[in-house]
Chains A and B, each alone.
Chain A
Amino acid sequence: MSNGSEAPAKRLKVSDKVMIEMKGVNKWFGDFHVLKDIDLTVNEGERIVIAGPSGSGKSTLIRCINHLEPHDEGGIVIDGVELTDDLKRIDEVRREVGMVFQQFNLFPHMTVLENCTLAPLWVRKMPEAEARELAMKYLERVQIPEQANKYPGQLSGGQQQRVAIARALCMNPKIMLFDEPTSALDPEMIKEVLDVMVELAEEGMTMLCVTHEMGFAREVANRVVFMDEGEIIEEAPPEDFFNAPKNERTKEFLAQILAH
C-alpha cells in the first residue's frame, strides 16, 4: 500500500469549507456517558482516522454524524444543515453522507445490483436504467462488476464490503463514514478494501474512518483523532501522532497496537 515517502492522497489540498462541525456534543446510553464534550471540525476533502480502544465511543461518534444515534447535547452541523430531531433534515443529511459498516449490512434478499440501485431509485427517484448505469459505474470502480447479479451471500467478505462501499457511493455522497470497515474481514481480504478506500481518498472524498489499520492512517489521513472513554484525547497529523504522541494514554495505546 505504502509506496515512496509521500502517498498521493497526502498532496491533495483541503478546502476551507467546513463539512462537519461538532460542538460540545454529549451523549449518554442510559447512565453511561459515552461521548463527552466532543468538538470536531472537518473540512471538505479532509480524511480523518479515529482511533482508540474499544468502547471509547469512536463508532458512536460517527453514528451521530448521520443521526443513527441521536446526540443529547451540543450541536452537529453537516454541510450547513444542523442536525435536530427534524426528520426532514435528518433525511437531507443522510442523502449526502454515505456509511460503510463493520458487518457490511448488505441486503441479503437483493442482488448486488439491486443493493446499489435501491437508494437512487427510492430516494433520488432516478429512472431505473439510469440507476443501473450508475450502480455499474461504481461496481466497476470497486472492481466487481461481474458480481452484479449475485446475492451478497455468494460473495466473500472483501467483495461484500466493496459492494457496501459502491452502494454508499451510488448516492454521490459528500462525506463517507467508515465504521471499522475491515475489522470483520479475513486478513487476506483487508487490502482489497483498503485499496478502494485509498483510491477514494485520492479523489478528494471527505472521509471519517474508524479503524485499527494504522498503515492506512499513516498513508491517507490528514489527522488522526484519538479517543478514550468518550473524550477526544489527542488530535494530530499522522506523523506527529505516531512519532511524537503527547498524551500518556495515546502512547500506551500506540505501544499496544504497534507492538506486533
Chain B
Amino acid sequence: MAMEDVTGRPPPKNAMPISPIGWARRNLFSSVGNTILTLLSLYLLWLLVPPFVDFTIFSAVWTGTTREACLVPDAGACWPFVWANIDQFIYGRYPPSEIWRVNLTFALGAAVIIPMLIPGLPARKLNLVFLLVVYPLVALVLLAGDRPGLPPVPTSEWGGLLVTLVVAITGIVASLPLGVLLALGRRSDMPAIRMLSIIFIEFWRGVPLVTVLFMASVMLPLFLPEGFSPDNLLRCLVGVALFSSAYMAEVVRGGLQAIPAGQYEAARAVGLTYWQAMMQVVLPQALRHVIPGIVNTFIGLFKDTTLVLIVGLFDLLGQVRAQLSDPNWTVPQGALTGYIFAALVFWAFCFGMSQYSNFMERRLDTSRER
C-alpha cells in the first residue's frame, strides 16, 4: 500500500477572487464587536506610528558632526550622536589601534557560525569542534592579547556590542550542552546524579540573574584566596552560563518527555549503549521538539546580557548610556535616540534568531514527517 499513489481530482478552486472591500468586510467588520476593535486598533496605530516615524525619520537630523546640528527647533532623533559614537557602541573603550583584533574575531565568528546554521553542509562535526573548542581559544587570544605582537587589552576596556556578544555567545554555546547534561541527569536512574541535577537546576532557577552577577562580581573575590581572583568578565560569563543552563535543562527535559519510551527501548534493544541511544535516537528528536523553547531561552539570555551593567561591565546598552553623559553630545533628544538605536540593534539580533528558529522548524517539518 504505497501512499504516494493517491490520485484523483484536485480540490476546487475558489470560484470568485475576493476584492479588498470584500476581504475587509469579512475580516475586519464582520460584527459590531469586530468593527469596534478594528476602529480602536486603527486609532491606536494612528496615535503611535506617525509620531514615531516622524521622530526617527522625517524630523530626524541625519548629518552633522557636532551637537549644534541637533539643536534645531522641533528636531527629531539626533543620529549624528550615534554616528559619532559608533566605535564606542561597538568596541567600548577598546584601544582604537587594536580594533582590528575585534573585527577579526567578529569575522572569524561569522565564518564559523554561519556555515553551522546552513543545513546540509558537509563537515558539520568538524565545524562544531571549531565552534566549541578552537574558536573560543582563538577569540580569547585575539581579544585579550598579551601575546607577542598582541599587546594586552584588559577586559575592563572591552565594551559595547563586543561585551554583549561575548556574554551572549558564551552563554548560548555553553548552556545548550550543559542544559542537555542536566536534563539527562534529572531523568537518570541513578539517585545521586538525579539529586545533584535537581539541586543545581532549582538553585540557579531560584535566584535572580542580578543576584548571580552580583555574587560573582562582588562576593566571590571575598571567598577566594588572595591573589587568585579571576577576571570580572570571566566570572560573569561563568555565572551567565550556569544560570542559563538551568533554564535550558528544563526546556530540554520537556523535549525528552515527549519522546515515547519505545524509542529508547528500541535503541537499547539493537545493542546501542545509553549514550549512543541518547545521542543518535532520543536527543535528535527531543531537541527538534523544543526548538522554539531553546531559541526562546537564547533570546532571553541575549537580552539579559544588559544586566552586566550592574557589575560595572558596559554592554551595548551600558555603553549607550555612558555616551549620553558625553558633554559634547548633550542634546535634549539624545537619550531617546540612543535607546532607540540600542533597541534596534537588540531587536535585529533577536528577530534574526526567531526567524532562524521558524526556518529550522519548517524545514525539519517538511523533510521528516512522522
List of B residues within 8 angstroms of A151 by Cβ: 368-369
Chain A residues 86 to 145 lying within 8 A of chain B, measured CB to CB, are 91, 94-95, 97-99, 101, 103, 105-109, 118-119, 122-123
A158 on the B face (CB < 8 A) = yes
- The answer on a CB contact under 8 Å between A105 and B265 is yes
Please name the residue on chain B nearest to A168 by beta carbon. Answer: B270
- The answer on a CB contact under 8 Å between B370 and A108 is yes
- The answer on a CB contact under 8 Å between A91 and B263 is no
A189 on the B face (CB < 8 A) = yes
Q: Which secondary structure dominates chain B's binding surface? A: helix
CA distance A153 to B369 in the complex (A): 6
User: From residue A95, how far is it (CB to closest CB) to chain B in Å?
Assistant: 4
Select one of A152, A168, A189 contacting B1, CB under 8 A: A189
| 16 interchain pairs, CB-CB under 8 A | A68-B269, A94-B269, A99-B266, A101-B265, A105-B265, A106-B266, A108-B285, A109-B368, A118-B267, A118-B270, A119-B271, A119-B272, A123-B276, A164-B266, A168-B270, A189-B1
Chain A residues 152 to 166 lying within 8 A of chain B, measured CB to CB, are 152-156, 158-159, 164
CA distance A235 to B281 in the complex (A): 38
Interface band, chain B: 20 to 34
B288 on the A face (CB < 8 A) = yes
- The answer on a CB contact under 8 Å between A119 and B270 is yes
Per-position binary interface string of chain A over residues 161-178, scored 1 when its CB falls under 8 Å from any chain B CB and 0 otherwise: 000100110010000000
User: From residue A111, how far is it (CB to closest CB) to chain B in Å?
Assistant: 9
A residues neighboring B (CB under 8 Å): 66, 68, 91, 94-95, 97-99, 101, 103, 105-109, 118-119, 122-123, 151-156, 158-159, 164, 167-168, 171, 188-189
Please name the residue on chain B nearest to A152 by beta carbon. Answer: B370
User: From residue A65, how far is it (CB to closest CB) to chain B in Å?
Assistant: 10
User: From residue A210, how far is it (CB to closest CB) to chain B in Å?
Assistant: 15
User: From residue B271, how far is it (CB to closest CB) to chain A in Å?
Assistant: 4
- The answer on a CB contact under 8 Å between B1 and A158 is yes
CA distance A155 to B267 in the complex (A): 20
List of A residues within 8 angstroms of B34 by Cβ: none
Cβ-closest 7 pairs across A and B:
A105-B266, A119-B270, A123-B271, A105-B262, A153-B370, A99-B269, A95-B271
A108-B285, A109-B285, A189-B1 are known contacts. Are A123 and B265 too (CB-CB below 8 A)? no
B284 on the A face (CB < 8 A) = yes
- The answer on a CB contact under 8 Å between B280 and A122 is yes
- The answer on a CB contact under 8 Å between A171 and B270 is yes
CA distance A99 to B369 in the complex (A): 25
User: From residue B124, how far is it (CB to closest CB) to chain A in Å?
Assistant: 16
Select one of A68, A106, A118 contacting B268, CB under 8 A: A68
Select one of B265, B273, B281, B368 contacting A68, CB under 8 A: B265
Per-position binary interface string of chain B over residues 272-312, scored 1 when its CB falls under 8 Å from any chain A CB and 0 otherwise: 11001000110011001000000000000000000000000
Which of B4, B266, B269, B288 is the most central at the interface, judged by chain A CB atoms within 10 Å of its CB?
A: B269
A122-B276, A123-B270, A189-B1 are known contacts. Are A103 and B262 too (CB-CB below 8 A)? yes
A68-B265, A151-B368 are known contacts. Are A156 and B272 too (CB-CB below 8 A)? no
Besides A94-B269, A103-B260, A118-B281, 16 other A-B contacts (C-beta < 8 A): A66-B269, A91-B271, A101-B266, A106-B266, A109-B288, A109-B368, A119-B271, A122-B280, A123-B276, A151-B369, A153-B369, A153-B370, A154-B3, A159-B1, A188-B1, A189-B1
- The answer on a CB contact under 8 Å between B263 and A107 is yes
CA distance A167 to B288 in the complex (A): 24
Which of A91, A99, A122, A171 is the most central at the interface, judged by chain B CB atoms within 10 Å of its CB?
A: A122
List of A residues within 8 angstroms of B266 by Cβ: 99, 101, 105-107, 164
